[in-house]
Amino acid sequence: MMDEVEVSGLGVRLRKKIFAALVLGFVVIVGAVAWPFTRAHLQAIAILRLVSGQKVPSIISKLVTEPVRTEDVNFATEAGVVRGRLYLPEGRRDAPGFVVLHGVHHLGIDEPRLVGFAKAMASCGLRVLTPELPGIKDYHVDLGSVRVIGASAQWFAKQTEAPVGVLGLSFSGGLALVAAGDPAYRRDFKFVAAVGSQDEMMHVANFYLTGQEVQPDGTTERLAPHEYGPLVLEYEHLEDFVPTEDEEAIRPVLRDHLYEDSAAEKQAEATLNPRQKAEAAELMDSNSAATKVKLAASDAKHAQEMEELSPHEFLQTMTTPVYLLHGQADNIIPAAETLWMAKELPRTTLQAVLVSPVLSHVNLDGAKPRVEDQWRLVHFFALMMHAAERK
């Protein structure tokens, strides 16, 4: 028979084993619950490092990334045939769908930064579609692009058999919000992420004239506007700035300047007569009084069109979840636009908002960030990745 000491020792050992089993069970349960969030943050770190051209730590790469293959597609929609590109993670045929919209750039879906971003997102487990927006590619912010965005989300939602996340860069982000507010497309959007995007087009146009915008708290944001913004408006409505007979000659000069093709720009300039050269020079100087007068007149002429391209009209009743990200020193679309959107969106709709010094406009090239700024950006992307993967 065991004496009392042996019985007591057995009881202690048994209690220790039970305690250890309970601790292990707790760790397993917490790990299972916490892993999706941990994984999302590791994915965010991988994406941001890949987009920045930095090496992803091998342990993170092994845990959350995989090879990607690309496939060019053309798909028929109610908005016409859309050219696009799919980025597909090789290990996940059933990966969630995610649409990435290019900004105002002549390379469209071939723009290297967009390609790198789409590939980074796909490497972390998303099926990514980049549809080409012909209007936006040709420096026109118009309703045609809204229809292409909505139709692309609709098509991809059918392919993936579920609503898709949609991320829009620059003006495309605002247009994505407009599309998500349309009942014809609303059900196909899982969420919208708008990066460096507009709330009201007229606010942005006025910023190009004044270099300032009032924020929701009543303070005024003051920045010197980048020439790119007003030049896009001039190019889109060139008929408001030069005589009809001069449009055909001057348009290539302005286009090549926006394309940053200095050689082609010089060749186009060489074909101009003296009057046209003077008109082109005036357009290039968006700070000149004469150009600002013409910009103001053009803005007034197209005010209704700008209103239709502004998401603020839909935001107070928006039910699609929204993520807002903006560069703190953005001088193409000022960060005040994101603050206005955050104010207008219902609390249940706005999922996350971040104005970050890590970004400029849509590039990760802001001032040298603090650790906490980098972490906030990682956390923002983690929230978005978690939402993209959530059923």
Mention every residue, 6+ apart, whose C-beta is less than 8 A from residue 61: 46
> What pLDDT was estimated at residue 312?
93
Helix (H) or strand (E) holding 280: helix 274-284
> From CA 132, how far away is CA 134, in angstroms rounded?
6
**Exposure string for 287-301, b = 16+ CB within 10 A, e = fewer:** eeeebbebbeebbee
> From CA 204, how far away is CA 233, in angstroms rounded?
11
Q: Among candidates 180, 169, 189, 174, which has minimal Cα distance to 101?
A: 169
Q: What is the pTM of this model?
A: 0.89
Alpha-carbon torsion (148, 319, 124, 197), positive or negative: positive
DSSP state of 224: P
> What pLDDT was estimated at residue 13?
54
Q: Which residues of the chain have pLDDT under 50?
A: 1-2, 5-7, 10, 12, 19, 22-32
> What pLDDT was estimated at residue 4?
52
Distance of CA 180 to the CA centre of its chain: 14
Structure tokens given for 55: 């090496």
Q: Among candidates 120, 110, 111, which has minimal Cα distance to 89?
A: 120
Which residue type occupies 135?
Answer: G
Q: DSSP of 124-152, one letter per residue?
A: TT-EEEEE--HHHHTT---HHHHHHHHHH
